[in-house]
Amino acid sequence: MHDVASVEVLKLLRDLHAQCVLIQSPEGLRREAEDLAFFLETNGIEAILHGGINYGACDPADTEAKRLGCDALIHLGHSYMTLHLEVPTIFVPAFARVDVVPALEKNLGEIKKLGKRISLVTTAQHIHQLERARAFLEEKGFEVLIGKGDSRVSWPGQILGCNFSSAKVNAEGVLFIGAGYFHPIGVAVAVKKPTLAVNPYSGDAIWMDKEVERLIRKRWAQIAKAMDSRRFGIVISTKKGQLRLAEARRIITLLRKNGREAELVLMDNINYPALEGFSFDAYVVVACPRVPIDDYENWRKPVLTPPEVEILLGLREDYEFDEILGAEREKDEPLGVSLHGIRRPL
Ligand code: SF4
C-alpha cells in the first residue's frame, strides 16, 4: 500500500471516528491490504482482512462489515460505484504509473484511421491520464470526445466490463487506452463503431473488428445450442452491483409467454459446477454480463445473456451486448468516497 494512500485512509477513518474496519481487496492487492491492516492497527484501529474473491466495485463487502460491527469498509483496487452501502466505504482505486502518451504517439497512423472525431475511453487504472491523452490528440488535430457516463462509473471516459455509457458519444470511432481485450471488445460490441485499443505497456495497437466477429460467432453458437431447451435456470447474484431482479423477472415472463419453463436461481459467485445438480437445459445469467461471455467454456449447458434470450425467442435480430446501466449521477452520495488523487504502481 502506498504510504500516501494509507495516511489518507487513516485521516478519513479518524474523521469517521472508526474503531474497526473491514479491508476488501482483489487477489492482486492482498499484500497491500495486509500492509494497510498493519498500519491501521499500529494507529489504534482494528482491521479485519476480507479473504473472499473480489472482481469489482459491484461487490462491496459492506453488509459483512456491518455484521461484524465495523464502522467502515475499505475497498481496494476499484473506484466508487453508486450503490446503497450499509457502512461508510472508502474506495481506493489502483492507478497505473505507465505513461500513455508514447503509445499514442507510436500509433498515430492507426488512430487516424478512426476519423477526426473520436471517442476516448479507458479503465480506472489510466483515468488520471485521460486529460493528458486528450491534450496530446487535440494537438495532433483530432476532435476528442469524452463521454460523462452514468452513475455506475466514477469518472468521465471510464468504462467497466459491463458499462460503456461513457463511449456513447457522437464520434466516428472509439479509441481505448489500456491492456487486454476484456474492455475494448465490450466497447466495440456495445457501441458498434470501429474500435482501436492502444496498450500503454506494450505500445501495441489492436483493431477490435476481428475479435468482435469471433465473439459474436461464438455467441450465436450458444444461442443455437439453447434453441431446443425447454427448462431455463435464470441465475441472479447476491452481489449488490450485479443484482438485477426486475430484469430477471422480465426474462422469466418472456420465456414463459413463449412456451418455455423458467425458474430463478440465486448464487453469490456464479459458477457452473455449483449448478450441476439442477436439471435445467440451459441458463441465463442476469448478473455480471461477463460470466456467460468469458466463462461459457466451463459450462456444460448453454448459458446466455438477456439480449441473447430475446434473439432465441425471435424478439430481436441484432446482437446486443448485455450492459448494466446506471442512472443519471446523483449529487447526494454520502456513504462512498473514492481517493481520486492517490496513485500507486500496479
Ligand atoms: S458486473 Fe462484472 S464487469 Fe461489471 S464491474 Fe462487476 S465484475 Fe466488473
Question: Does 292 sit in the ligand 1 pocket, CB within 6 Å?
Answer: no
Task: For domain 212-312, give the fold.
Answer: Rossmann fold (3.40.50)
Gap between the Cα atoms of 132 and 144, Å rounded? 12
pLDDT of residue 345: 32
* Residue 287 Cα: closest atom of ligand 1: 1
Q: Give the position, in ligand 1's atom list, of the atom nearest the Cα of 242.
A: 1
242 lines ligand 1 (CB under 6 A): yes
What residues does CATH 3.40.50.11860 cover in the chain? 212-312
Residue 14: C-alpha distances to residues 19, 37, 44 (Å): 9, 15, 10
Instruction: Return the amino acid letter for 189.
Output: V
| Average predicted confidence (pLDDT) for the chain | 93
Q: How far apart are CA 166 and CA 186, in angstroms?
A: 13
pLDDT at 346: 30
pLDDT of residue 339: 56
> Could you tell me the fold of the domain covering 101-207?
Rossmann fold (3.40.50)
What residue owns the CA closest to ligand 1's atom 2? 288
Which residue spans of the chain are classified as CATH 3.40.50.11840? 3-94
Low-confidence ranges of the chain (pLDDT < 70): 1-4, 329-346
Which pLDDT does position 334 carry in this prediction? 43
**Comparing C-alpha atoms, which of 84, 5, 77, 59 is closest to residue 242?**
59
Task: State if residue 55 touches ligand 1 by the CB under 6 angstroms criterion.
Answer: yes
- C-alpha 234 – ligand 1 centre gap (Å): 18
Written as one letter, the residue type at 150 is D
Ligand 1 pocket member 326 (CB < 6 A): no
Where does CATH 3.40.50.11850 sit in the chain? 101-207
pLDDT in tens, 76-103: 999 988 888 999 999 998 889 999 999 9
pLDDT at residue 147 in the model: 95
**Nearest residue (CA) to ligand 1, atom 3:** 161
Closest ligand 1 atom number to CA of residue 78: 5
Does ligand 1 lie within 6 Å of residue 319's CB atom?
A: no
User: Is 239's C-beta closer than 6 angstroms to any atom of ligand 1?
Assistant: no
Q: Is the CB of 291 under 6 A from ligand 1?
A: no
For the Cβ of 127 lying below 6 angstroms from any atom of ligand 1, the answer is no
Out of 3.40.50.11840, 3.30.465.10, 3.30.360.10, 3.40.50.2300, select the CATH number for domain 3-94. Answer: 3.40.50.11840
CB of residue 215 inside a 6 A radius of ligand 1? no
Cβ-Cβ contacts under 8 Å for 21 (sequence gap 6 or more): 13, 40, 45, 46, 47, 48, 65, 70, 71, 72, 73, 74
Model pLDDT, residue 5: 84
Inter-residue contact 173 to 285 (CB < 8 Å)? no
